[in-house]
Amino acid sequence: MLSNIRIILVQTFHPGNIGASARAMKTMGLSRLTLVNPRCFPDDEATRLAAGAEDIITNATVTTTLAEAVADCVQVIGASARLRNLPLPHFDEPDRMAEDAIAVAQKEPVALVFGRERSGLTNDEIHHCTHQVSIPANPDYGVLNISQAVQVLCYELLRAQQRLESHSQLAPSRKPPLPNQEQLAHFHDHLQRVMKDIGFLTQPHARTEEHLHALFARAQPSRKELSILRGLLSAIEKRSE
């Protein structure tokens, strides 16, 4: 299951944080690292601070956009120190996040996304997430280094897997297959096109598309349900013609 979970670092500025994050991952049994548009990589500092996790650095995937990095994932959890305007499902406790992610990762790919050192994830990047998670910390100083945040959440993932395995048999997934982010993106593009064609989007400042994006993120439609919705949109298009 841990092999089905990838850690994604977005536009990491200090290469040492990449190496330290790789080390944090390996100590908790995770091995899949994806870097989105890093400032400097590969880099000797990243390799040095990996300190035994050089294989994770060597095998890291590098992409230019977050959309590309999560296209095949059915669950994308953004690590954020603060809530954004987009009301995505939010895990207040990392252990609850880990239990949910491990359950999904039994069959489908999952991603944990960490933003820039200074500014975290942008609102546009949060749009590519299905959930958010926060790490409880000192309210007067709750700023964690990226590699520290990676360590905490990877620890929770390892513990969640161990708890599941301690029952001697992996619990079967009760949920139907979920769509990946590429399929969801096609759906939202289709929905936006239909809403424009029928004149529904008449108030550009109402943020209708953002609210609908959040609605479907909370609903987590299955692949079958998403296919039905796409069929409904196609029928509306034909009727409007």
CATH class of 181-240: mainly alpha
Please state the φ and ψ torsions of residue 77, each to the nearest 5 degrees.
Answer: -110, 115
The per-residue pLDDT for 227 is 93
Q: What is the pLDDT of residues 98-154, one digit of tens each?
A: 999 999 999 899 999 999 998 889 988 988 999 999 999 898 888 889 999 999 999
Q: Which residues of the chain have pLDDT under 70?
A: 81-86, 168-174, 204-206
178 neighbors 220 (Cβ within 8 angstroms): yes
The per-residue pLDDT for 235 is 93
The per-residue pLDDT for 34 is 98
Please state the φ and ψ torsions of residue 149, each to the nearest 5 degrees.
Answer: -65, -40
26 neighbors 19 (Cβ within 8 angstroms): no
- For the chain, what are the domain ranges? 2-165, 181-240
Same fold across 2-165 and 181-240 = no
- What is the spatial distance between Cα 185 and Cα 193, in angstroms, rounded to a whole number? 12
The per-residue pLDDT for 109 is 96
The per-residue pLDDT for 231 is 93
CATH number, span 2-165: 3.40.1280.10
Per-residue exposure over 170-201, b if at least 16 CB sit within 10 Å of its own CB, e if not: eeeeeeeebbbbebbbebeeebbebbeeeeee
pTM greater than the 0.85 cutoff: no
Per-residue exposure over 211-226, b if at least 16 CB sit within 10 Å of its own CB, e if not: eebbebbeebbeeeeb
The per-residue pLDDT for 82 is 58
